Chain A
Amino acid sequence: SQTIHQWPATLVQPVGSPLSLECTVEGTSNPNLYWYRQAAGRGLQLLFYSVGIGQISSEVPQNLSASRPQDRQFILSSKKLLLSDSGFYLCAWSQLGGLANNEQFFGPGTRLTVL
């Protein structure tokens, strides 16, 4: 069966510090991968998605970046965090292929607080 891991679970960082969040998927190959952010009391905002190694699409301009160095690894980074970067960061995967937009499965998330 497929599993998705994210770490760390919780992070408190000062403004201006760098960020690196990691997500890995097991039990599947060549998945679509996604990074979302959910601010307190808000809906999910898609930040990045990837259909393959080294292929990253950005949905919202911001000071964040993403990379996919391996098939089942997705990394979210920032060189300098802003207060507005606080939120619940969720990684998700879905199966490639077909005409239908497939369901996505989420990792446990990282709760980031920028002070």
Chain B
Amino acid sequence: AQKVTQAQTEISVVEKEDVTLDCVYETRDTTYYLFWYKQPPSGELVFLIRRNSFDEQNEISGRYSWNFQKSTSSFNFTITASQVVDSAVYFCALRAITGANNLFFGTGTRLTVIP
């Protein structure tokens, strides 16, 4: 069974602060894929990043960075120098290569950046 846990329900930070969103996953599969999505107040899902289970390299994209650690089954997301436009709900998701190939989502973390 696949499971994704985002223990942080809501986080508030002041603009320009750094913030890390935690994601812990469970799977018995050896091959799987991890994703982060952003859901702004308008409701659509915005794809941010994907990672496969064989690639543990951390990634940086502008103010965003991701830390994937198989040893702790974690795929954490850091926003550096947060901005008001970063305010959204962020979802971590896991996809296995078997079965429906669907995404298993965490419950999301609502990030509020205070100006």
Asked if chains A and B come from one complex, the reply is no
Question: Which residues of chain B have a CB within 8 Å of any CB of chain A?
Answer: none
